């Protein structure tokens, strides 16, 4: 809630466009990805859901592509449901000719696992901070397949903002939770990351700024204290 309040104030009171915040977040996340240890000669698979977390994923894809990295978008759910900023960034990667594949085109979890294992790195942009409760089908199967690709084929996973399926407030995993090698979280580390056992799901956490002034975060934290 605090992270979303930072976004709201930045957009509504300071006049910073949401798309600019998304661009900043995705750009710096992509640059951080390029510093992490994975095989640059391979292809990056970015799993995108239906929210603004997917929008961050589309920006990451575009930035990596501009750096000469082979990128593939694996999308879940109808793209007509995307928020405006995420939809705009999807349109950009589409214009660039990046590969877009529907996750539900794989009829079994094992088929998806096999496909995901052909990538050098997976980026989790399925669920954001608004997630609570249980992961519903078919998202649960997609998360399961990604974790199996990591476990059986040593494909590293980087999560954007938080591992999909992890509760940002209490750090508890749900019925299906990405087990990330690294988490690139936006604005500030989420409260749940400090809870015992959460690191097994997040891996090392890197805080990625999104272009909001530091005083804004301090203001929000004071309001919620």
Rounded to an integer, the average pLDDT of 74-90 is 89
pLDDT at 31 over 70: yes
Digit-coded pLDDT (tens) for 143-198: 999 999 999 999 999 999 999 999 999 999 999 999 999 999 999 999 999 999 99
Tokens of 194: 């400090």
| Predicted pLDDT at 94 | 96
Residue 11 to residue 137: CA distance in whole angstroms:
33
Q: Give the residues across from 182 on adjacent strands.
A: 158
Task: Name 90's Cβ contacts closer than 8 Å, sequence gap at least 6.
Answer: 48, 54, 55, 58, 79, 82
Question: Are 22 and 92 within 8 A, CB to CB?
Answer: no
pLDDT at 77 over 90: no
Rounded to an integer, the average pLDDT of 131-151 is 95
Residue 58 to residue 83: CA distance in whole angstroms:
13
| Predicted pLDDT at 30 | 98
For the chain, the first-to-last Cα distance in angstroms comes to: 13
Question: Are 209 and 24 within 8 A, CB to CB?
Answer: yes
| Predicted pLDDT at 158 | 98
| Predicted pLDDT at 222 | 87
pLDDT at 1 over 90: no
Q: Give the residues across from 207 on adjacent strands.
A: 185
pLDDT at 57 over 80: yes
Q: Give the residues across from 46 on adjacent strands.
A: 73, 123
- What is the overall mean pLDDT for the chain? 95
Report the side by side order of strands in the sheet with 205-208: 99-102, 71-75, 44-48, 121-125, 157-160, 182-186, 205-208
- Cα 155 versus chain centre, distance: 16
Task: Name 58's Cβ contacts closer than 8 Å, sequence gap at least 6.
Answer: 26, 46, 48, 73, 86, 89, 90, 92, 93
Rounded to an integer, the average pLDDT of 130-148 is 94
Percent of the chain predicted with pLDDT > 70: 98
- Label residues 145-183 b or e (16+ Cβ within 10 Å = b): bbbbbbeeeebbbbbbbbbbbbbbeebebbebbbbbbbb
Task: Name 214's Cβ contacts closer than 8 Å, sequence gap at least 6.
Answer: none
pLDDT at 225 over 70: no
Query: Which pLDDT band, with edges at 50, 70 and 90, does 110 fall under?
Result: very high
Question: Are 48 and 74 within 8 A, CB to CB?
Answer: yes
| Predicted pLDDT at 224 | 57
| Predicted pLDDT at 161 | 98
> Taking the model in full, what pTM does it have?
0.96
């Amino acid at each position: 809630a605090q992270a979303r309040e930072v976004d709201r104030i930045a957009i509504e009171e300071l006049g910073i466009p949401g798309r600019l915040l998304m661009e900043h977040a995705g750009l710096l996340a992509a640059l951080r990805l390029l510093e992490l240890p994975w095989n640059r000669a391979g292809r990056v698979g970015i799993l995108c859901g239906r929210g603004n977390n997917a929008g961050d994923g589309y920006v990451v894809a575009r930035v990596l592509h501009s750096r000469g990295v082979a990128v593939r978008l694996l999308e879940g759910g109808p793209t007509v449901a995307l928020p405006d900023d995420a939809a705009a960034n999807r349109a950009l990667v589409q214009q660039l000719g990046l590969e877009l594949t529907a996750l539900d085109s794989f009829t079994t979890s094992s088929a998806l696992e096999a496909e995901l294992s052909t990538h050098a790195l997976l980026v989790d942009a399925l669920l954001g901070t608004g997630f609570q409760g249980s992961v519903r089908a078919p998202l649960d199967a997609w998360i399961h397949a990604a974790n199996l690709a990591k476990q059986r084929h040593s494909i590293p996973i980087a999560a954007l903002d938080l591992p999909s399926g992890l509760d940002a407030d209490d750090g508890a995993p749900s019925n299906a939770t990405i087990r990330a090698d690294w988490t690139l979280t936006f604005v500030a580390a989420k409260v749940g990351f400090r809870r015992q056992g959460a690191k097994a799901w997040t891996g090392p956490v890197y805080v990625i700024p999104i272009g909001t002034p530091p005083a804004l975060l301090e203001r929000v934290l004071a309001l919620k204290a």
